Structure 1
Amino acid sequence: MDLPRVALAAALLAAAPAARGQPADLETWVVVRTPSISLMTDAGVERGSEIAVSLERFRAVFAQLAPELELSSPAPIKLFAFRDAASFAPYKARREGRGVQILGQFLSHADGNYLTLNADPGHPAARAVIYHEFAHYLVRNNFPRVPLWFNEGLAEYYGTFAIEDGAAVIGRPVERHLAWLRRRGRIDPAAVLGASSASARGHDAEQAGELYAVSWLLVHHLLSGGVERLDQTAAYLGRVAAGEDSEEAFVEAFDLRLSTLAETLLDYARGERFATAAIPLDRLPPVTAESAAMAPAEVLFQLGDLLLHSGRREAAAAHFQLALDHRPEDPAAHAGLAWVRHLDGRLAEAEVLFDDARRLGLRDPLGWLWYGRHLLATLDLEPATAGELAVLAGDGEAGDRGARAARARDAFRRAVELAPDFAEAHAMLGYAHLFGAARPADGIPSLAHAVARLPSRPELVLFLVELHLKAGDVAGAEGWIARGLARRSPELAARAREEVERFTLLEAARKALDDGRIDDALALVDRAVELTSDPQLRRRLAARLAALQQLAGER
């Protein structure tokens, strides 16, 4: 054993701030697993199993919206069911305001998705919050360009999910929306159809009430309108995904005038009965739940991870430290504390803690992801295409930098092996092949997998374009621009086209240098400098241009 390293790690841990906020009754925590859900809880096996099974059934019911929906998560899902308000209070992502009681929250992050709720049977509304947010998550995974009204309306519709009399029921009326609609007596569908996330942030209470109430009512009306309305809804979503204006697409898909729609919806809201959908449980896939006790160190690591992704870094570090107090050789807790140190800018301490996590047999995919990010962030090496590597002499992978880049790729590869569906790990593995002399062909499949699983992340398509350029495949790069970027992000598409043009110029400059045509190379690199918008890359190219000019002057 490396005693100096162990001593240094012990000193670092001893110097850490005193841990605070250890949850009571650590030994009561269990994990409940169903086919697609793992739920951690201190509310007991029975309560935890009931919640996990209901969420599993919710997924199955949502899947019936469209057979092609992708329900498997591209990131780990961690669910925490706290037994009561006191147990939940230290782990809420935001403070409760006057008159506001937080019963459940959904935190979405590239590292994972974190669902928390108060499992006290006296707060059944907590479940509706989770159903609502879970529906948003499923919509985001499948329809990244869906209009705001449909996203919110669908989440409100499915937020009424309940198990009643042997059936899964959705579509119960939302009384607060009906009260608002009946009190208001008039609605403006055009304002709701044209709303965006950006515009909604400036809404006052009345505008927000209209957005949620009308969105819910419209979705309820459409989903209760039979097969024809469902087909029209699918056609509408297709038009919007293709870039058509939301209001125009709606009128065309449903063959409705907005003035007519307003009166139709108000009549619907005044009705006495609202159609609900009841699906017998025996028509849904059977669900089994298994449970296991959690070790105190595991509980503290998972709660620390939750706190970290809630933006509470100090409390997260305290929990990771507590985990190490319970089990000094816990590799996941070492990795968690290492990542906090990295985020705090204490990179040398992070390096030691990450090395210890590896030595202790790290098996947590998130820990390997953090380690790979740490290595890339401390690499002092810019991503570059093959043409840039040739022209920017000295920027290749060499010495310790090359070893660290290779270790980063290995870390991301380990994360993928431990969690094959973890799209962010695939994305980082592919991205890491942009650095230095790594073979781009080895990274393209991983990045293509991430692009398919994360449609709301167009920047990943840009990285894929850059990987193809690094491989010298201009046609492949242009293909991704045409089918993956042009519609989803015009700004990134323009940047990608700049990358292709610069690559073409630098490749030509490389060939000119190989042929001894320094003046031609000068002209080509000069053009590349002129079109480059990234300041750092522009400086690097300008420095290389100056070196070439000096070489030309010495001939």
Structure 2
Amino acid sequence: MNKPFAALPWRRLARPLSILCTLVPLAQAHARNVADLVDKTWIEIDSPNFRVVTEQPEDVARRMIVDLENLRYISNRVRGAQSLDGPPLTIVAMGESSFSTLGLPEDWAGVFTISARNGYAALARIDNYAKSADKSDDSRATILHEYHHFLLHYSPETTSYPTWYDEGMSEYWSSLVVQDGMAWFGRPGEGGGREAWLFDETDRANFDTKWLFNSPRLTFDDTWGSSMEVARFYARAKYAIHYFNSSPELRRQLADYLRLHNMGLSQQQAVRIAFKKSYTELDNDLRAYVKRRVTVRGFSTGKDGLALPQVSVTVSKLDRSATYAVLADVLPRFVRRDSNVANELIETNLKLHPDDVKANTIAAWHHLLDDPDARLSALQKKYPDNADLLAVRAEGLRDAASVKYHTGTPGWEPLVQEARAMFRRAIRLDPGQPLAYYGLGNLYTMLPETEPPEEGIAGLDTAVIYEPRPAAFRALARLYLRDKRLHKALESMRSAVAFDTRGENPVDALVMENLEIVVDMNSVPTPDAKGLRYESGAVYEGTLEDGKPHGKGKWSRPDGSYYEGEFVHGLPAGHGKLVCERGVAYEGDFVAGMAHGRGHITFPEASKMVSYDGGVKDAVADGTGVLVTKEGRLEATFTRGYANGTGTFVPAHGAGSFSGKWIYGAFQWPAADAVVFTGDIDDKGRRRGLGWCLSTASTQIEPCRYKGDRQVAIYLNDDD
């Protein structure tokens, strides 16, 4: 048995976009009273794009909602990129005492989240919020900062933003003030006041762009050293963006850098090509820019300029029942899953609204329904055409199927078919239902390759808006390849590489480069003195037949990637070597352009992987082979890049070996401590990381986590 609503531990639907903190240690949670929170005077203020629910004074909430509407309007006009339209964004805006009721860190100021399951929402602390648009303070800057993250990410074009760019742009745009008929950005001192952290003890501006551009993500903890590093990161990111916004040419270079990053180039190559400078030269330019007067950008807000819209708002007072409905929907997204406050809000809301679909689905997601299947099934009979309810029930079935699939338990196929039928019906009832598309796309990661790909493509293309994981882009690329849409497959693999900020799957770069050459070979090149030049900038040197590469030759890209070996009728075929700019290399068989047959893959020194020898299909391990990592040696059968079947693992620092069954990259451990664990093996031969636990005393499969061979809390942040 398995719980249909037991969320997969490695798949988090909710995706927090950012949390902006100050340099204050995290607060300790203490006893709170939910009734005290709910029984305050709550109001709702609505505008075309926002719904603010707050217990703060009306004039404060009105000011915030106008600021947000202004930023949305200006950003969509100036950036040249539109955010997606959708229902108004719900923001619960609270004072410090209400924040403390939730047990949240006192240094939290604002956070936005987006998910396919329940859309998007935000939580904000708005003590001492600026009362006019021509002033800025920490609260106002924080809200605008966080909302700008939302604008960047909730977009029709799924774009990967390096952390420094994402944070720096949001810092820059959060400095908005509207004054004297102008909207101003970039005034020093406005907003968070990051300037002090740019300078060292000798009052010298300290820019380290190599560190800045290559920092994949920020780590927030309660140590002073970490806080200082975060503060320096924000300061450098803000003024790097400030510098690149100071002239049209620099803005063009910045746009080119982002384009190259999303083409899968490494940071080093993207910086070199876009900025045409070394990190040291960039440091010097940034230091000189900060030393002289920085450039402030201004846009007219009159009829001949941006013409800021007149924002109309409506205000209503919420009764106790309506307040519970809003808080139970929004607040549990931001507090700990085991929070008593969240559980009390959800349970009380359900008592107040026993037949409400949202109240029941929220309780189901948080495992607060005794029998979610029966409860939701009964609701479905009452509301047969409710698309949201259908999608939630189908997602529960998909989760249940995924548990079986990833643990080798029979019976997942009927669940997939039932879920697919429900997702399809939900989409027919509501073509804009995001969870239905998300779930339908993810079903196709389990379905056999004989299934038509179009439906899976439509689903995954929506899923990556809400959860842009490399695995989702990888699955989307496979479907595009099956559909013979090479350019779209290449775009998806570029995204898989760009979103893999920690380089956890370097094989993606190999697949991407393999598709780069196949797309080039299917285009019309221009002959030149060296051979053939392609629109991508790549050059072919070698023998030709009928104007196409045929025989021995070499294809080279400007970034340093290349293929050298045999060509047949314009495509790599036979024996060849493909070397990626990111350091991954393959030598072996090629068929009809793709690495296919037997071959050898080597990985860059920084990768956890060392080498692979064996069967290959479409540039990933497929068939029998040997994978060597820094944690050990695995000889196994592989499917689409994952060990899947019988195999033997020898830990790098452990005694003996482990032979048995692998299921899509996870080892099914023998029973120990009355549990069968399906998960990872560390370099000492111990159970490690997120996985599934099957109790030998029952048939229940539960998500679990191991560290050092001991079961630990499932939401622990590290696996070391």
Give the TM-score, by structure 1 length. 0.70
Is 1:180 the equivalent of 2:165?
no
Is 1:135 the equivalent of 2:148?
yes
Deviation of 1:431 after TM superposition, in Å, equals 2.7
Deviation of 1:297 after TM superposition, in Å, equals 3.4
2:52 to 31, 39, 49: 39
Q: Is the 8 A contact 1:459 1:492 kept in 2?
A: no
Deviation of 1:47 after TM superposition, in Å, equals 3.9
Q: Tell me the distance in 2 between the aligned counterparts of 1:326 and 1:199.
A: 41
Q: Tell me the distance in 2 between the aligned counterparts of 1:27 and 1:360.
A: 34
Secondary structure at 2:35 match in 1: coil
1:95 to 79, 84, 105: 105
**Structure 1 residues 212-271: Cα deviation after superposition (integer angstroms, max 9, x where no partner):** 22221221122122x222222222222222233434433443344544443433333233
In the alignment, which residue of structure 1 is the partner of 2:337? 312
2:256 maps to amino acid: A
Q: Tell me the distance in 2 between the aligned counterparts of 1:303 and 1:416.
A: 30
Is 1:427 the equivalent of 2:438?
yes
Deviation of 1:326 after TM superposition, in Å, equals 2.8
Q: Tell me the distance in 2 between the aligned counterparts of 1:439 and 1:37.
A: 41
Q: Is the 8 A contact 2:45 2:61 kept in 1?
A: yes
In the alignment, which residue of structure 2 is the partner of 1:325? 351
Which structure shows the bigger proportion of residues in strand conformation?
2
Q: Tell me the distance in 1 between the aligned counterparts of 2:142 and 2:285.
A: 29
**Structure 1 residues 82-109: Cα deviation after superposition (integer angstroms, max 9, x where no partner):** 2x322333346x323xxxx433333454
In the alignment, which residue of structure 1 is the partner of 2:121? 114
Q: Is the 8 A contact 1:75 1:424 kept in 2?
A: no
Which structure shows the bigger proportion of residues in helix conformation?
1
**Structure 1 residues 164-221: Cα deviation after superposition (integer angstroms, max 9, x where no partner):** 3454332121374323334540424443444322586797455434322222122112
In the alignment, which residue of structure 2 is the partner of 1:488? 496
2:73 maps to amino acid: A
In the alignment, which residue of structure 2 is the partner of 1:235? 256
1:208 to 225, 230, 248: 230
1:482 maps to amino acid: L
1:171 maps to amino acid: G
Map 1:187-266 onto structure 2 (within 5 A). Answer: 187-198=206-217, 204-225=226-247, 227-256=248-277, 258-266=279-287
Secondary structure at 1:22 match in 2: helix
Counterparts in 2 of 1:339 and 1:354: CA distance versus 1, 3 Å: farther
Q: Is the 8 A contact 1:447 1:464 kept in 2?
A: no
1:338 to 364, 368, 393: 364
Q: Tell me the distance in 1 between the aligned counterparts of 2:345 and 2:466.
A: 31
- For structure 2, the 5+ residue unaligned runs are 1-31, 131-136, 498-504, 515-590, 598-621, 626-635, 647-660, 665-720
Give the TM-score, by structure 2 length. 0.55
1:277 to 269, 291, 298: 298
In the alignment, which residue of structure 2 is the partner of 1:49? 62
Counterparts in 2 of 1:133 and 1:27: CA distance versus 1, 3 Å: closer
Q: Tell me the distance in 2 between the aligned counterparts of 1:27 and 1:491.
A: 52
Deviation of 1:27 after TM superposition, in Å, equals 8.4
Deviation of 1:366 after TM superposition, in Å, equals 6.0
Is 1:299 the equivalent of 2:310?
no
Is 1:105 the equivalent of 2:130?
no
The answer to which structure, 1 or 2, has the higher relative contact order (CA under 8 A, 6+ apart) is 1
Q: Is the 8 A contact 1:368 1:411 kept in 2?
A: yes
Is 1:150 the equivalent of 2:165?
yes
Q: Tell me the distance in 1 between the aligned counterparts of 2:411 and 2:403.
A: 7
Q: Is the 8 A contact 1:369 1:425 kept in 2?
A: yes
Deviation of 1:157 after TM superposition, in Å, equals 0.8
Map 1:439-450 onto structure 2 (within 5 A). Answer: 440=452, 443-444=455-456, 446-450=458-462
Secondary structure at 1:531 match in 2: strand
2:383 to 313, 338, 361: 361
- What percentage of residue pairs aligned between the two structures are identical? 18
Deviation of 1:55 after TM superposition, in Å, equals 0.7
Map 1:532-543 onto structure 2 (within 5 A). Answer: 532=639, 533-535=642-644
In the alignment, which residue of structure 2 is the partner of 1:519? none
Deviation of 1:277 after TM superposition, in Å, equals 1.9
Q: Tell me the distance in 2 between the aligned counterparts of 1:89 and 1:415.
A: 40
**Structure 1 residues 437-467: Cα deviation after superposition (integer angstroms, max 9, x where no partner):** 9974673353254157358333223444566
1:531 to 627, 634, 638: 638
Q: Tell me the distance in 2 between the aligned counterparts of 1:255 and 1:79.
A: 42
Secondary structure at 1:488 match in 2: helix
Counterparts in 2 of 1:482 and 1:442: CA distance versus 1, 3 Å: closer
**Structure 1 residues 473-515: Cα deviation after superposition (integer angstroms, max 9, x where no partner):** 8344876543312562355748999xx99xx99xxxxxxxxxx
Counterparts in 2 of 1:527 and 1:241: CA distance versus 1, 3 Å: closer
1:530 maps to amino acid: T
Q: Tell me the distance in 2 between the aligned counterparts of 1:427 and 1:454.
A: 8
Deviation of 1:430 after TM superposition, in Å, equals 2.8
Q: Tell me the distance in 1 between the aligned counterparts of 2:62 and 2:220.
A: 37
Q: Is the 8 A contact 1:28 1:44 kept in 2?
A: no
**Structure 1 residues 364-387: Cα deviation after superposition (integer angstroms, max 9, x where no partner):** 876554432222233478679xxx
1:22 maps to amino acid: A
Q: Tell me the distance in 2 between the aligned counterparts of 1:248 and 1:462.
A: 23
In the alignment, which residue of structure 2 is the partner of 1:516? none
Q: Is the 8 A contact 1:372 1:412 kept in 2?
A: no
Counterparts in 2 of 1:455 and 1:228: CA distance versus 1, 3 Å: farther
1:341 maps to amino acid: H
- For structure 1, the 5+ residue unaligned runs are 1-18, 385-391, 506-524, 542-555
Q: Is the 8 A contact 1:157 1:220 kept in 2?
A: yes
Secondary structure at 2:91 match in 1: strand
Secondary structure at 2:195 match in 1: helix
Secondary structure at 2:178 match in 1: strand
2:469 to 436, 451, 457: 457
Q: Tell me the distance in 1 between the aligned counterparts of 2:213 and 2:366.
A: 41
1:78 to 75, 86, 90: 90
Deviation of 1:58 after TM superposition, in Å, equals 0.6
Alpha-carbon RMSD: 4.4
Counterparts in 2 of 1:209 and 1:445: CA distance versus 1, 3 Å: closer
Counterparts in 2 of 1:188 and 1:243: CA distance versus 1, 3 Å: same
Q: Tell me the distance in 1 between the aligned counterparts of 2:381 and 2:317.
A: 26
Q: Tell me the distance in 2 between the aligned counterparts of 1:464 and 1:218.
A: 34
